[in-house]
Amino acid sequence: MGTVVSLRLPDSPAPADAVERVETVFRRWDEQFSLYREHSELSRIARGDIRLTEASQGLRDCYALALKWRERTQGVFTPHRADGVIDLSGIVKALAIAEAGAALTARGPANWSINAGGDVLVSEDAGHPERVVAIVDPGNRGTVIANVPLGHPLRAVATSGSAERGEHIWTALNGEPSPFRQVSVFAADIVTADILATAIVAGGETTLNKMTERFAIDVLAVLRDGQLLATPGLRRAE
Protein backbone atom coordinates (compact mmCIF):
# COMPACT_ATOMS: atom_id res chain seq x y z
CA MET A 1 0.00 0.00 0.00
CA GLY A 2 3.04 2.23 -0.25
CA THR A 3 3.23 2.83 3.49
CA VAL A 4 4.57 1.35 6.72
CA VAL A 5 2.29 -0.70 8.99
CA SER A 6 3.25 -0.95 12.66
CA LEU A 7 1.71 -3.31 15.18
CA ARG A 8 1.99 -2.85 18.94
CA LEU A 9 1.21 -5.86 21.11
CA PRO A 10 1.26 -6.43 24.87
CA ASP A 11 4.46 -7.83 26.31
CA SER A 12 2.63 -11.06 27.15
CA PRO A 13 0.82 -13.14 26.27
CA ALA A 14 0.98 -12.40 22.54
CA PRO A 15 0.15 -15.11 19.97
CA ALA A 16 3.19 -16.03 17.93
CA ASP A 17 1.27 -15.63 14.68
CA ALA A 18 -0.24 -12.21 15.43
CA VAL A 19 2.15 -10.33 13.12
CA GLU A 20 1.74 -12.93 10.39
CA ARG A 21 -2.05 -12.61 10.51
CA VAL A 22 -1.89 -8.83 10.18
CA GLU A 23 0.61 -9.08 7.31
CA THR A 24 -1.67 -11.53 5.51
CA VAL A 25 -4.64 -9.17 5.74
CA PHE A 26 -2.76 -6.17 4.33
CA ARG A 27 -1.09 -8.22 1.59
CA ARG A 28 -4.44 -9.58 0.39
CA TRP A 29 -6.06 -6.14 0.21
CA ASP A 30 -3.06 -4.70 -1.62
CA GLU A 31 -2.88 -7.53 -4.13
CA GLN A 32 -6.57 -7.18 -5.01
CA PHE A 33 -7.05 -3.40 -5.01
CA SER A 34 -3.74 -1.71 -5.85
CA LEU A 35 -3.77 0.20 -9.14
CA TYR A 36 0.03 -0.01 -9.06
CA ARG A 37 -0.10 -3.78 -9.42
CA GLU A 38 -0.62 -4.76 -13.04
CA HIS A 39 -2.43 -7.98 -12.24
CA SER A 40 -4.64 -6.79 -9.38
CA GLU A 41 -8.36 -7.20 -9.89
CA LEU A 42 -8.94 -3.44 -9.80
CA SER A 43 -6.20 -2.85 -12.42
CA ARG A 44 -7.86 -5.39 -14.70
CA ILE A 45 -11.13 -3.47 -14.37
CA ALA A 46 -9.35 -0.17 -15.08
CA ARG A 47 -7.86 -1.63 -18.30
CA GLY A 48 -11.21 -3.05 -19.36
CA ASP A 49 -10.04 -6.66 -19.11
CA ILE A 50 -13.08 -7.46 -16.97
CA ARG A 51 -16.29 -5.60 -16.22
CA LEU A 52 -17.25 -4.46 -12.75
CA THR A 53 -20.21 -6.85 -12.92
CA GLU A 54 -17.74 -9.69 -13.44
CA ALA A 55 -15.60 -8.75 -10.46
CA SER A 56 -15.47 -10.69 -7.22
CA GLN A 57 -18.15 -10.15 -4.58
CA GLY A 58 -15.56 -8.64 -2.25
CA LEU A 59 -14.58 -5.97 -4.76
CA ARG A 60 -18.18 -5.15 -5.59
CA ASP A 61 -19.00 -4.88 -1.89
CA CYS A 62 -16.08 -2.49 -1.39
CA TYR A 63 -17.23 -0.36 -4.32
CA ALA A 64 -20.80 -0.31 -2.98
CA LEU A 65 -19.54 0.86 0.42
CA ALA A 66 -17.54 3.63 -1.25
CA LEU A 67 -20.69 4.75 -3.09
CA LYS A 68 -22.58 4.87 0.22
CA TRP A 69 -19.88 7.15 1.61
CA ARG A 70 -20.13 9.32 -1.50
CA GLU A 71 -23.79 9.79 -0.66
CA ARG A 72 -23.09 10.40 3.05
CA THR A 73 -20.57 13.11 2.19
CA GLN A 74 -22.80 14.63 -0.50
CA GLY A 75 -20.40 13.65 -3.25
CA VAL A 76 -17.24 15.10 -1.71
CA PHE A 77 -15.73 11.64 -1.19
CA THR A 78 -15.80 9.63 -4.41
CA PRO A 79 -14.37 6.31 -5.64
CA HIS A 80 -13.98 7.69 -9.18
CA ARG A 81 -10.97 9.49 -10.58
CA ALA A 82 -11.40 12.40 -12.97
CA ASP A 83 -10.66 10.04 -15.88
CA GLY A 84 -13.46 7.72 -14.78
CA VAL A 85 -11.23 4.98 -13.36
CA ILE A 86 -12.53 3.34 -10.20
CA ASP A 87 -10.00 4.05 -7.45
CA LEU A 88 -10.75 2.53 -4.05
CA SER A 89 -7.54 3.60 -2.35
CA GLY A 90 -9.54 6.09 -0.26
CA ILE A 91 -11.25 3.27 1.59
CA VAL A 92 -9.13 0.14 1.16
CA LYS A 93 -6.43 0.94 3.72
CA ALA A 94 -9.05 1.63 6.40
CA LEU A 95 -10.88 -1.60 5.61
CA ALA A 96 -7.60 -3.52 5.88
CA ILE A 97 -6.87 -1.91 9.25
CA ALA A 98 -10.37 -2.77 10.47
CA GLU A 99 -10.07 -6.39 9.35
CA ALA A 100 -6.64 -6.77 10.91
CA GLY A 101 -8.00 -5.36 14.18
CA ALA A 102 -10.93 -7.76 14.11
CA ALA A 103 -8.54 -10.68 13.55
CA LEU A 104 -6.47 -9.66 16.57
CA THR A 105 -9.56 -9.22 18.73
CA ALA A 106 -10.92 -12.63 17.73
CA ARG A 107 -7.79 -14.51 18.75
CA GLY A 108 -6.09 -12.15 21.20
CA PRO A 109 -4.11 -10.32 22.44
CA ALA A 110 -6.40 -8.05 24.40
CA ASN A 111 -4.39 -4.81 24.14
CA TRP A 112 -3.10 -3.85 20.70
CA SER A 113 -2.74 -0.94 18.30
CA ILE A 114 -2.25 -0.78 14.52
CA ASN A 115 -0.63 2.18 12.80
CA ALA A 116 -0.77 2.23 8.99
CA GLY A 117 0.88 5.33 7.63
CA GLY A 118 -0.28 7.43 10.58
CA ASP A 119 -3.84 6.07 10.66
CA VAL A 120 -4.29 4.38 14.03
CA LEU A 121 -6.77 1.90 15.48
CA VAL A 122 -6.56 0.62 19.05
CA SER A 123 -8.30 -2.23 20.81
CA GLU A 124 -11.35 -1.52 22.92
CA ASP A 125 -10.37 -2.68 26.40
CA ALA A 126 -11.97 -1.15 29.44
CA GLY A 127 -9.28 -2.63 31.65
CA HIS A 128 -6.41 -0.86 29.89
CA PRO A 129 -5.48 2.82 29.95
CA GLU A 130 -6.16 4.96 26.90
CA ARG A 131 -3.41 5.08 24.31
CA VAL A 132 -2.13 8.56 23.39
CA VAL A 133 -1.43 9.51 19.79
CA ALA A 134 0.70 12.47 18.75
CA ILE A 135 -0.43 14.71 15.89
CA VAL A 136 2.55 16.31 14.18
CA ASP A 137 2.81 19.79 12.75
CA PRO A 138 2.50 19.61 8.93
CA GLY A 139 4.90 22.54 8.66
CA ASN A 140 7.53 20.92 10.89
CA ARG A 141 7.39 17.15 11.07
CA GLY A 142 9.58 17.17 14.16
CA THR A 143 7.03 19.13 16.20
CA VAL A 144 3.93 17.74 17.91
CA ILE A 145 0.88 20.01 17.95
CA ALA A 146 -1.37 17.76 20.07
CA ASN A 147 -1.34 14.58 22.16
CA VAL A 148 -4.78 12.98 22.10
CA PRO A 149 -5.94 9.86 23.99
CA LEU A 150 -7.56 7.03 22.01
CA GLY A 151 -10.01 4.66 23.66
CA HIS A 152 -13.72 4.23 24.19
CA PRO A 153 -15.64 5.54 22.34
CA LEU A 154 -13.15 7.05 19.87
CA ARG A 155 -10.74 4.23 19.02
CA ALA A 156 -9.46 5.47 15.67
CA VAL A 157 -7.72 8.45 14.13
CA ALA A 158 -6.88 9.15 10.50
CA THR A 159 -4.97 12.10 9.09
CA SER A 160 -5.19 13.48 5.56
CA GLY A 161 -3.63 16.45 3.82
CA SER A 162 -0.83 17.70 1.61
CA ALA A 163 2.11 17.64 4.04
CA GLU A 164 3.36 14.14 3.22
CA ARG A 165 2.33 13.56 -0.42
CA GLY A 166 1.68 17.04 -1.77
CA GLU A 167 -1.61 18.11 -3.35
CA HIS A 168 -3.00 14.65 -4.17
CA ILE A 169 -6.64 15.07 -3.07
CA TRP A 170 -9.25 16.25 -5.57
CA THR A 171 -11.28 19.09 -4.07
CA ALA A 172 -14.89 20.14 -4.53
CA LEU A 173 -14.00 23.84 -4.22
CA ASN A 174 -14.32 25.05 -7.83
CA GLY A 175 -10.68 24.35 -8.55
CA GLU A 176 -9.41 26.14 -5.45
CA PRO A 177 -7.00 24.34 -3.10
CA SER A 178 -8.23 23.14 0.24
CA PRO A 179 -7.99 25.68 3.07
CA PHE A 180 -6.61 22.84 5.20
CA ARG A 181 -3.00 21.72 5.19
CA GLN A 182 -3.89 18.76 7.40
CA VAL A 183 -7.02 17.23 8.94
CA SER A 184 -7.11 14.56 11.67
CA VAL A 185 -10.43 12.88 12.43
CA PHE A 186 -11.10 10.85 15.59
CA ALA A 187 -13.94 8.34 15.38
CA ALA A 188 -15.23 5.07 16.80
CA ASP A 189 -14.05 3.17 13.70
CA ILE A 190 -11.18 3.63 11.29
CA VAL A 191 -13.28 3.67 8.11
CA THR A 192 -15.31 6.67 9.30
CA ALA A 193 -12.15 8.45 10.46
CA ASP A 194 -10.26 7.86 7.21
CA ILE A 195 -13.04 8.78 4.80
CA LEU A 196 -14.11 11.89 6.69
CA ALA A 197 -10.52 13.13 7.00
CA THR A 198 -10.23 12.97 3.22
CA ALA A 199 -13.70 14.46 2.69
CA ILE A 200 -13.02 17.43 4.98
CA VAL A 201 -9.76 18.22 3.19
CA ALA A 202 -11.59 17.98 -0.14
CA GLY A 203 -14.66 19.95 0.91
CA GLY A 204 -13.18 22.61 3.17
CA GLU A 205 -14.90 24.28 6.10
CA THR A 206 -18.41 23.69 4.74
CA THR A 207 -17.83 19.93 4.79
CA LEU A 208 -16.12 20.17 8.19
CA ASN A 209 -19.24 21.77 9.65
CA LYS A 210 -21.61 19.30 8.00
CA MET A 211 -19.66 16.20 8.97
CA THR A 212 -19.23 17.24 12.61
CA GLU A 213 -22.98 17.79 12.79
CA ARG A 214 -23.83 14.40 11.27
CA PHE A 215 -21.19 12.12 12.80
CA ALA A 216 -19.87 11.49 16.32
CA ILE A 217 -16.33 12.61 15.57
CA ASP A 218 -13.69 15.01 16.80
CA VAL A 219 -11.54 16.96 14.36
CA LEU A 220 -8.21 18.76 14.54
CA ALA A 221 -7.58 20.78 11.38
CA VAL A 222 -4.53 22.82 10.44
CA LEU A 223 -5.22 25.77 8.15
CA ARG A 224 -2.70 26.79 5.52
CA ASP A 225 -1.55 29.71 7.66
CA GLY A 226 -0.84 27.35 10.56
CA GLN A 227 -3.91 28.16 12.66
CA LEU A 228 -5.68 25.25 14.36
CA LEU A 229 -9.37 24.39 14.37
CA ALA A 230 -10.46 21.89 17.03
CA THR A 231 -13.88 20.51 17.89
CA PRO A 232 -15.11 20.91 21.50
CA GLY A 233 -14.20 17.34 22.47
CA LEU A 234 -10.55 17.91 21.65
CA ARG A 235 -10.46 21.26 23.38
CA ARG A 236 -11.76 19.58 26.55
CA ALA A 237 -9.11 16.87 26.20
CA GLU A 238 -6.38 19.52 26.18
Domains of the chain: 5-230 (3.10.520.10)
The whole-number average pLDDT for the span 134-161 is: 92
Q: Is the dihedral of CA 102, 21, 4, 80 positive or negative?
A: negative
pLDDT at 1 over 80: no
What is the pLDDT, as a whole number, of residue 169?
A: 56
The whole-number average pLDDT for the span 86-97 is: 96
Residue 72's pLDDT band (cuts 50, 70, 90): very high
CA atoms within 13 A on the CB side of 99: 16
* Identity at 19, one-letter amino acid code: V
What is the pLDDT, as a whole number, of residue 236?
A: 59
Percent of the chain beyond pLDDT 70?
86
How many other CB atoms are found less than 10 A from the CB of residue 36? 10
What is the pLDDT, as a whole number, of residue 109?
A: 62
- Angstrom distance (rounded) from CA 211 to CA 207: 6
- Angstrom distance (rounded) from CA 26 to CA 116: 10
Percent of the chain beyond pLDDT 90?
69
Tell me the per-residue pLDDT of 108-129, one tens digit each, with 9 for 90 and over: 667 889 999 999 999 987 556 6
Mean pLDDT of the chain: 89
Dihedral angle of Cα 191, 197, 202, 207, to the nearest 10 degrees:
100
The end-to-end CA distance of the chain, in Å, is 33
- Angstrom distance (rounded) from CA 188 to CA 152: 8
How are beta strands 113-116 and 131-137 bridged, if at all? Answer: unpaired
